[in-house]
Amino acid sequence: MKIFIINLKESFRRRQCIEYQCRRYNLDYEFTEAVNGHSLSSEEIVQHTRTINYATRPGEIGCALSHIYIYRLICERGLEQALILEDDAKITPEAIPLIQQIALRNDPNRPLLTLLTTCNQYLKKPIHVLDKTHSLHRVIDAAMTHGYVINRAAARNMAAALYPVWMVADKFSLFQDYSLCQVRAVVPPVILHSIHAGQSNIASTPKPTATRLAIWQNLKHHMPWRVKCKHSLWRLLVRPFLSIVKHR
């Protein structure tokens, strides 16, 4: 499986660390230069974002643009799927055979995104048992974008729907509400954070502020009716009957 690694040009140590891991496991990897949101001019930010935009920080805008760029690459090259890593990812030995399994289980007709990282909430009942200790689960809530597999159908949807930028790159529950992709996760996770993850060079997750909450309410107000209905029906008629595992 093709691997795209998002890396800021000046983050040389991070590049060395993730490249060492990829070479160790003999992986097919390619670096893509991250968009540094702090280097974008005011005009460029206006050009690449929508008026109502939840990605309020430069780092969040850069992160979103970096991932959208890879979604477009996947489509342009006709790749069936790809693994996207950020340069602070730590690849565990268990990840290698599981990545191969995920590749074999791809359905090109369904938009699928598979997290290899920790998720906050997932369905207790697995979709697939992958080996003696790992299984694939439907995700209810998750964040962080340092390691996931995405197929071309999902990449096409995400590239079209998320540009110009109006949302942070890891709002996976919202992406499911919009039917952009079905999000699954390998449990327990097999992509962790390396020692370089203490301070992200691409984006950080800020605490909610009054401004961000106001933007979120504005986005909810402008959501298409089908998205609102889907979310409401799911919360009222489906979620109460599901067995959900929560990690916080």
Domain ranges of the chain: 2-246
pLDDT number for residue 199: 56
Give the model's pLDDT for residue 247: 85
pLDDT at 27: 98
pLDDT of residue 167: 98
- Residue 208's pLDDT is 65
Strand (E) or helix (H) holding 62: helix 58-77
Provide block-wise average pLDDT over 10 residues at a time, the chain (248 residues): 97 97 98 98 98 96 99 99 98 98 97 98 98 98 98 99 98 98 99 81 62 95 97 96 92
CA–CA dist 49, 163 (Å, integer): 7
CA 136, CA 100: separation in Å to the nearest integer? Answer: 13
56 in Cβ contact with 30 (< 8 Å): no
Q: Which residues neighbour 6 within 8 Å (Cβ) at sequence distance 6 or greater?
A: 32, 34, 66, 67, 70, 84, 85, 86, 87, 202
**Tell me: the pLDDT tens digits for 49-98?**
999 999 999 999 999 999 999 999 999 999 999 999 999 999 999 999 99
pTM for this one? 0.94
Q: What is the CATH number of domain 2-246?
A: 3.90.550
Contacts of 50 (CB under 8 A, 6+ apart): 164, 165, 166
